[in-house]
């Protein structure tokens, strides 16, 4: 099972012509059945997907973003628990990461994922039993 970071979900909804290849790649990734997410990833997706842009518009309405979040619940979703928070704080210190990235790594580890698909966390880097792979490289 592979763990999906927020940026993969956000490329799925991109309408930027410069991101068309990434949008297609994200769509292919999300069509597979071997994926997992965390509540943190779903929260980040919702916030970014509905965020008002400088042009005065959000990318998605609340209803559209909420419907997508519901559709992503077809994958296993790891809640952020106290145990995951504790493990993430240790991972943050060990690997000098942001707490947010460490939470993703620990949620992936809790679900038994050996791969995190992320554009943002140093593709190819390994953090113990979890490796980050940039699916857009």
Give the residues across from 113 on adjacent strands: none
pLDDT value at 43 more than 80: yes
Q: Calculate what percentage of the chain has a pLDDT beyond 90.
A: 84
Strands 2-4 and 77-78, sheet pairing: unpaired
Query: Rounded to two decimals, what is the model's pTM?
Result: 0.92
- Euclidean distance between CA atoms 73 and 75, whole angstroms: 5
Burial of 90 (0-12, 13-18, 19+ CB in 10 A): exposed
Q: Is the dihedral of CA 30, 33, 34, 39 positive or negative?
A: positive
Quick: pLDDT tens for 95-118: 999 999 999 999 999 999 999 999
Can you tell me the distance from the alpha carbon of 40 to that of 80, in angstroms, rounded to the nearest whole number?
7
Q: Helix axis angle, 99-110 relative to 82-95, nearest 10°?
A: 120
Domain residue spans of the chain = 2-78+113-133
The token duo for 126 is 């390994």
E strands of the chain, at which residues? Answer: 2-4, 35-38, 77-78, 115-117, 126-127, 130-133
pLDDT of residue 5: 97
- The pLDDT value given to residue 40: 98
């Amino acid at each position: 099972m592979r763990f999906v970071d927020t940026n993969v979900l956000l490329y799925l909804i991109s309408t930027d012509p410069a991101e068309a290849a990434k949008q297609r790649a994200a769509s292919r990734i999300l069509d597979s059945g071997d994926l997992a997410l965390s509540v943190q990833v779903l929260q980040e997706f919702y916030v970014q997907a509905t965020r008002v842009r400088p042009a005065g518009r959000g990318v998605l309405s609340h209803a559209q973003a909420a419907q997508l979040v519901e559709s992503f619940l077809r994958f296993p979703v790891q809640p952020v628990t106290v145990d995951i928070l504790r493990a993430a704080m240790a991972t943050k210190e060990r690997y000098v990461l942001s707490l947010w990235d460490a939470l993703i790594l620990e949620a992936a580890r809790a679900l038994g994922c050996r791969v995190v698909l992320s554009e943002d966390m140093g593709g190819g880097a390994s953090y113990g039993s979890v490796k980050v792979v940039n699916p857009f490289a």
